[in-house]
Chain A
């Protein structure tokens, strides 16, 4: 029996997909691939890329952390923030990266002591993640060989 995947954030239901062959997520203890008949599992998620594999197709999503439950081939992903690769606003992610880098640079040069370094680094990580996922999707859809 194939998997059912629900990807939900606090703001909306991002995707509900049935007949899924495999789900690849950034789990707390490392990358995690879930196939049908997986044991019941609860895990926290790290920021990263989530991939839904279905009938030879791969759909990529950004997940900025959250939580995942597997129960009877039903997977619920409660993500802090998430969007499908094709929804990613590249200009906005670029802008976020630039801002985060600027904040980190100011902190390094001691010019601005108010910068919250941890937050700036987390923001940078999220921006880079979105850019990476969007870039990979672009490559895939333009027909270059898959990695």
Chain B
């Protein structure tokens, strides 16, 4: 049985913890709104780009003779994994889910995998797992901008074109909702052209357009941007996922702390009652003894 003094100390410390988790929750909630907003604002560009490439791909790409190196499927000898995670923890199971998914992925590939890490949590995980981390990008901040993503995209594309990797996958948390973030791993390079949304009969596309300078050159301009956009979107979803997961985790922590405080206070009050009763009995007993 804990003493009254110990209980009092314990209650105070849980209350302090609750204050901290509550503050973190509020900060995460406000950052979450902005991060989600940015993820949403990036949608029109990527959707438009995807539609254009789908049209262009359907019209200009001959599967036998790909029009651009980023579309060429090579025999796979080395795999690259662009692993995107948050920099910080205190966000529930987000990091361990991401790392577990990526770790399983790496372990099940027949070809050797090397990792390009975005975010400290994923980098540390793969360093501990003794997987080769060839590059790292950390401290992108709460609201990463397109300019910060450009060097990542350039590295990935250059490595692919130089033959360092024959296939590149991207791993990131898909932001489903504030409560749900799902680890996703999918192929980034070579580019699998998105399917056109138009009906097959409508594909008179290439003939109708004027291309400046030429369809191939337009495609060559668009494809690297497409890769960059996919990475950028993944990084924005990562930011939104992190803030959401942190907010939810901190809310749970605050609720737990409040619950513990309630229980401890009850125990504390009971103990205090007992103590007072005992003291009263002592006094009454002592007085009775004197009288007697």
Contacts and interface: CB of A to CB of B under 8 A. Distances in A.
B218 A8 contact: no
A39 interface: yes
B44 A41 contact: no
Contact of A42 (B46, B48, B49, B209): B209
- Contact size class for B? 20 to 34
A33 interface: no
A39 B221 CA distance: 21
A17 B222 CA distance: 24
A42 B52 CA distance: 10
A144 to B, nearest CB: 34
Given A67-B221, A67-B225, A81-B146, A8 B48 contact: yes
A41 B212 contact: yes
Interface string A10-54: 111100000000000001110000000001111110000000000
A40 B41 contact: no
B210 A44 contact: no
What's the dominant secondary structure at chain A's contact region? strand
Interface in B38-66: 38, 41-42, 44-46, 48-49, 52, 56
B212 A78 contact: no
Contacts of A28: 212-213, 217
Given A40-B208, A41-B209, A44-B212, A13 B52 contact: no
Contacts of B218: 42-44, 67
A71 to B, nearest CB: 8
A119 B215 CA distance: 27
A86 interface: no
A78 B208 contact: no
Nearest to A69: B52
B45 A78 contact: yes
A101 B172 CA distance: 39
Nearest to B213: A28
Interface in B101-141: none
A11 B208 contact: no
A3 to B, nearest CB: 16
Contacts of B46: 10
A47 to B, nearest CB: 13
B45 A8 contact: yes
A49 B256 CA distance: 57
Contacts of A8: 44-45, 48
A81 B45 CA distance: 12
Contacts of A42: 52, 56, 209-212, 215, 218
Interface of B: 38, 41-42, 44-46, 48-49, 52, 56, 145-147, 208-213, 215, 217-218, 221-222, 225, 228-229, 232
Interface of A: 6, 8-13, 27-29, 39-44, 67, 69, 76, 78, 80-81
25 contacts: A6-B48, A8-B45, A9-B45, A10-B45, A10-B46, A10-B228, A10-B232, A11-B41, A11-B145, A13-B44, A28-B213, A29-B213, A40-B209, A41-B210, A42-B52, A42-B56, A42-B211, A43-B211, A43-B213, A44-B217, A44-B218, A67-B218, A67-B221, A67-B222, A69-B52
Given A13-B44, A43-B213, 14 more contacts: A9-B45, A10-B42, A10-B229, A11-B41, A11-B145, A11-B146, A28-B217, A39-B210, A41-B209, A42-B212, A43-B211, A67-B222, A78-B48, A78-B225
